[in-house]
Structure 1
Amino acid sequence: MADSRIRMIGFDADDTLWRSQDYFDQAQLDFERIVGGYVDLRDARLHERLYEIEKRNIGIFGYGVKGMVLSMIEAAVEITGERISAADLHRIVELGKDLLRHPVEMLPGIPEAVAQIAAEFEVVLITKGDLFHQEAKVRQCGLADLFQRIEIVSEKDTQTYARLLRVFDLPAQRFVMIGNSLRSDIAPVLALGGWGIHIPYHTTWAHENEAEIAADAPRLRRVDQAADLPQAVRELAKVAAA
Structure 2
Amino acid sequence: MPAKWVRTFAERRPGVDVELVDCAAAEAAALVRSGTVDAALGRPGVNAEPDLALIRLYDEVPVVVVPKGHVLTAADELTCADLADESCLLPLDDVLGWDARPGTQLSHRPETTADAVELVAAGLGVLVVPMSLARLHHRRDLTFRPLVDGPAAPVGLWWSEPTSELVDEFIGVLRGRKAGSSRGTREPVAKRSAKEKAAARRERLEAAGKVPPRKPKGAGEPGARRRRGGR
User: Does TM, scored on the shorter chain, surpass 0.5?
Assistant: no
The structure with the largest strand share of the pair is 2
Larger-gyration structure (1/2): 2
Q: Whose helix proportion is higher, 1 or 2?
A: 1
TM-score by length of 2: 0.32
